[in-house]
Structure 1
Amino acid sequence: MKTTIVKLIPIFITLIFSSCDTSESTFKTNQEDYEPYLATKTVKTTSKYFELWNSKIKPDSLQLLSLGNVASEYNRFFKSTGDVQYLKKAEECLQRAVEIATVGKSGYLRALARNYISQHRFKEALVLAKEARELGSGLNETQSLLFDLHMELGDYTLANQYLDSIKNLSDFGYLIRVAKWNDHKGDLDTAIQFMEKAKQKAESSNNQGLKQWSYTNLADFYGHAGRISDSYNMYLQALKIDPQNAYAKKGIAWIVYSHERNGEEALRILDEVMQNHEAPENYLLQAEIASYLNKDILQLQALDDYFKKTNSSNDYGSMYNAYNVDFYINADIKNRAYQLAQEEVRNRPTPESYSLLAYSLLHLGKEEKAMELIDAHVANATFEPALLQMAAEIYKANGKTEKVSKLKKELLEATFELGPVKEATIAAL
C-alpha cells in the first residue's frame, strides 16, 4: 500500500495480494456485506472487569493478579483504538509486576517482552525472554516467544531451531508459527494449509480471540495468493466477532481500492475507521488513495497529519522508523532518512531494514554502496514486493538490466499488493 510520496507499505497489508486468476479478477465486494460494521461507535476504553481490577492497584501495590489483568485490558484498548498511551500504560503495569513477582515471574517477563515487541524494542524483549527461559517455568511459551523474536530480528537460523523445539501439530501456537515460517520461505501454499489448520483449532475451541486472529491472518494469506474473494470473506468473518475490528475494515478498504480501483469507496471505509482508530499508518493509506484520486490537498493534509502524529509524542519510540525513512526520502530530508535507516538496521537487522538503508543510500547518490547492501542482505532473502521494488530501482541505477528485467516480471505480477499508484513506476523500470 503506497503513496506517490510515501512508498512504504503499511504493516497491515504487507502480505496482501499477488496475481489473480480470471474468477478472482471479476470478483466484486458488496457494500451491503460490510455496511453494518461502518456505523461509527465510540470504542469503549473501560469495562467493569477493568474497573474491578484497577481499583485494587494502590501505590506500591503488591496486587500481582490485578496488575496482570489491568495490563491485559490496556493491551486490548490499544488494539481497539491504536492509541499508544494504552500500550505504555500496559508496560508500566507489567514492569511493576516483574519487579514484585516471585511466583509466576516468567509469565510476566514474557508479557512485558511482547509489549516491547509491539513497541519495536526487540533487543530489550530478547533480554526478558532469555531471563524467562532461565527461570524455566512455561518453557514452551518462552520458546515460542524466542521464535517470534528471532524472526523479528532476522536471525532465521536460530528462529527455525526454536520452531523445531515446540513442534506439536495439535497446538494452535505451533501451527501459526510454522505457517509464518513457510511464508517467510516463500512456500505460500504450505503456509495457508497450516493457517487453515490453526483456524480449525480456534473454531473447535470456540475461542473468540483466536478465531478473530486466525481469520484476519488467513485473510492476509489468501490475498497474498490472489484468492481475493476468500480474503474478503475472512475479513467479514472477523467483523462478525468484533464489528470494531479496524484491521479487517482496512483490509476490505484495500480490496476495494486495489482490486476494484474504487478509491472513493475505499476512502469512505477508511474515514469510518479513523473516527475511532488513531494509528498513524491510517494517514499513509489515506494519502495513497488521495494520490490515486488526484486529491492533492487531501494527500498533503494526510501526510502532514501523519508527521504531526508520529512527532507529537516520544511514546512511539522506534515504532515508525521504517515508515519515516521513506517519508523523509520523499520529503527530500535524505540525511535524516539515512540516519533512521542506520538505526533501524541496528535495532532490527532484517532484509527490510537493509532495503531501507540501501534505498536511503541510493537517494544520497551512493548507488554502488546501495547495491552492495542489496546483494549481501536482500537478494534471495525476501519475497516481499515492496523490498523487491527497492532492489529493482537500485539495480537500475547501477545498470544491471538483466536483474531489473527479472524483478520487473515479478513485480508486474504483484501490482495488486503494491497498489495502483505503483503500476506506472514498475512499468518504467
Structure 2
Amino acid sequence: MKTTIQYIFLPLALLFLVSCQQEETEFKTNRQDYDHFLASEPVRTTSKYFKLWDNKIKSDSIQLLSLGNVAGEYSRFFEGTGDIKYLKDAEQSLKKAVEIAAVGKSGYLRALARNYISQHRFKEALQLAKEARVLGSGVNETQSLLFDLHMELGNYDLANQYLDSIQNMSDFGYLIRVAKWNDHKGDLDTAIQFMEKATAKAESSKNKDLLLWSYTNLADFYGHAGRIEDSYKLYLRALRIDPQNAYAKKGIAWIVYSHERNGTEALRILDSIMKKNKSPEYYLLKAEVASFLNDDMLKVQALDSYYRIVGNNKDYGDMYNAHNVDFLLSMDVEQSAFKLAQKEVNNRPTPESYGWLAYSLLYLGEEQKAMEVIEKHVIGATYEPAILHQAAEIYKANGKKEKVSELKQELMGAVYELGPVKEVQIASL
C-alpha cells in the first residue's frame, strides 16, 4: 500500500516541479535592455546634403537628381517622425521628377507609386506602375511593385503571377515577397523560413535599411508564431542599428502589453515614442492599453487626440479609413461607419475591407447581410485574426454556433497577436 501511494504522488510531484520550472523560465523583458533607447534624440529632419539638394531645387527646378534625392530624404523623415507633411513633400518632388525626366523615368514612376502606396492611393499607384512597365526599364523592379500592389488590392491570383515572374531564390526582394505570400495563405512556418533567408541576405549585405526592415518584420512573424523572446531580441537588434526606430519600440511595447500584461510599462514606452513620432496609430494603441487598465479618461483622451489629428488634416486622405470605421463604430456612429466602409471596399476590395463592411452592417442590425458579405468575401480568403474575430461575432449574431466554435478555437491561438482586450471578447463568444 505504501508503494502504491508513492507511485501516485510521484507524477504529481513531477508535474508540480515542471510547472514551477515553466513559471521560472517564462520569458520576460528587461527595462535595462531598452530604457536607453527611449531617451534617444529626436529624429533629425535635415542634413547638409539635404540642404544642398533642396537649394538646387529652389534655384533651378530642373535639377532631376536633386529632386530624387530630396524625395528620398523626405520619405526618410516621414518614416522617422510620422509627420504626414514629409510624405506629401516627397510626393511633390517625385511628381516634378516624373514630369521632367527624359531618362530613368520608370524609376521615378515606381518611386511615386510607392509614395502613393504609403498614402493608400492604390489605384493611382497601379496606374503609375503600368506606365513604368510600358517604358520597359527596370522590369524586375516593376514586376515586384505590381505584386505589392495587387496584394494590397486583393487581386491575389494576379499577385501570384507577378511573384512567379520574379522568382529568384538568391534575391532579397523575391524572398521577402514569397514570405508575404505564404503569410497571406496562412502558412506562417514557411513565411518565417523565407523571411529568415531574406534576413541572412540583409546581414551579408550589411545594408542598414535592409537590416532594419528584416529584423522588424521577422520579429513580427516570430511574435505571431509565439516565439516572443526571439521577437524581442530582434527588436533590440534593430534599435542597436537605429536607436530612434519607432516601429521596433512599438514592437517591444506590444510584447510588454500583450505577453506580460503590463499596461503601465507599455504606456511608458508608447509615451516615449509619441514625444518624437506624430503617427496617429500610437493614440489608438494607447487607447487600447488604457481600456485594458480600465482608465476610461485616458482612453477618451487618446481617441480624441487621434480623431483631431486624422479628422482635421486632409493630407491623410484614405490612409486611416479602416481605423476610422472602427472608431466610428465605437462612437455609435454606425451609418457613417458603413458609408466609410463602402468607400474603403471601393478603394481597396480586400477581405479586410469587406470584413469592416460586414462589421458595420452588424452594428446596423443587418445580421443576415453581414453574414452574406463575410461568407462571400472573407471566409477562406484571409487568416487575419482581427477580421476572423469580426466574422465570429457576425456568426454568433446569426446563431451559427458551430461556426463560432470553429473560429473561437482558431482565435484562441492568436491571443498574443490580438491582445488582452480582444482575448476577453473572444472568450465570451
Q: TM-score, length-normalised on structure 1?
A: 0.94
Does the C-alpha gap of structure 1 residues 397 and 24 become closer, same or farther in structure 2, counting only changes over 3 Å? Answer: farther
Given the alignment of the two structures, is residue 214 of structure 1 paired with residue 208 of structure 2, yes or no? no
CA contact (8 A) 1:24 1:226 kept: no
What is the match of residue 67 of structure 1?
A: 67
CA distance in 2, matches of 1:42, 1:151: 34
Letter in 2 for 1:162: Y
Note the alpha carbon deviations across 1:32-62, whole angstroms, 9 max, x for none: 1111101142211101121111110036611
Tell me the SS of whatever aligns to 1:72. Answer: helix
CA displacement, residues 74-114 of structure 1 (integer Å, 9 cap, x when unaligned): 00000000000000000000000000011000000000000
Give, in angstroms, the shift of residue 305 of structure 1: 0.2
CA distance in 1 between partners of 2:42 and 2:393 (Å)? 44
- Corresponding letter in the other structure for 1:329: L
For residues 212-243 of structure 1, give each alpha carbon's deviation from its aligned partner in whole angstroms, at most 9, with x where no partner exists: 10000000000011000000001001000100
Quote the sequence identity (%).
73
**1:305 matched to which residue of 2?**
305
**Shift of the alpha carbon at 1:151?**
0.2
Counterpart for residue 4 of structure 1 = none
Structure-2 residue corresponding to 1:188: 188
Structure 2 unaligned residues grouped into runs of 5+: 1-21
CA apart distance, 1:294: 1.2
Paired residue for 2:146? Answer: 146
> What is aligned with 2:55?
55
CA contact (8 A) 1:261 1:420 kept: yes
Query: What residue identity is the alignment partner of 2:396?
Result: K
Letter of the 2:207 counterpart: N
Q: Which residue of 2 aligns with 1:417?
A: 417
Correspondence 1:10-409 to 2 at 5 A: 26-58=26-58, 61-409=61-409
Instruction: Supply the distance in 1 between the matched residues of 2:123 and 2:423 (Cα, whole angstroms).
Output: 37
What CA distance in whole angstroms lies between the structure 2 residues aligned with 1:352 and 1:327? 16
Distance 1:100 1:411, change over 3 A: same
Counterpart Cα distance in 1 of 2:112 and 2:104: 13
**Alignment RMSD:** 1.1
Kept in 2: contact 1:40–1:275 (CA 8 A):
no
Code of the aligned partner of 1:274: M
Distance in 1 of aligned mates of 2:42 and 2:273:
11
Deviations 1:388-411 (A, max 9, x none): 100000001111110001011111
- Cα-to-partner distance string for 1:359-394 (whole Å, 9 max, x where unaligned): 000000111110001000000111111001000000
Aligned residue in 1 for 2:3: none
Does the 8 A contact of 1:345 with 1:357 survive in 2? Answer: yes
Give the aligned length: 408
Q: SS state of the match for residue 103, structure 1?
A: coil
Tell me how far 1:279 sits from its aligned partner.
0.4
Distance in structure 1 (CA, Å) of the matches to 2:294 and 2:157: 45
The offset of 1:25, in angstroms, is 8.2
Kindly provide the amino acid, as one letter, of the partner of residue 227 in structure 1: R
* Contact 2:328–2:337 (CA under 8 A) maintained in structure 1: yes
Q: Distance in 2 between matches of 1:196 and 1:422?
A: 30
- Map of 2:10 onto structure 1: none
How far, CA to CA, are the matches of 1:98 and 1:412 in structure 2? 49
Tell me how far 1:24 sits from its aligned partner. 11
Question: In structure 1, how many angstroms separate the alpha carbons of the residues matched to 2:282 and 2:426?
Answer: 24
What CA distance in whole angstroms lies between the structure 2 residues aligned with 1:200 and 1:47?
31
CA distance in 2, matches of 1:23, 1:55: 60
State which structure, 1 or 2, has the greater radius of gyration over its C-alpha atoms.
2
In 2, the alpha carbon distance for the partners of 1:58 and 1:231 equals 45
Question: Is the CA contact 2:224–2:416 (under 8 Å) kept in the aligned structure 1?
Answer: no
Runs of 4+ in 1 over 3 A off after TM superposition: 22-25
The superposition leaves residues 265-320 of structure 1 with CA deviations (integer Å, 9 ceiling, x where unpaired) of 11000100000001001000101111111111111100000000101210000000
TM-score by length of 2: 0.94
Partner Cα separation in structure 2 for residue 340 and residue 412 of structure 1: 30
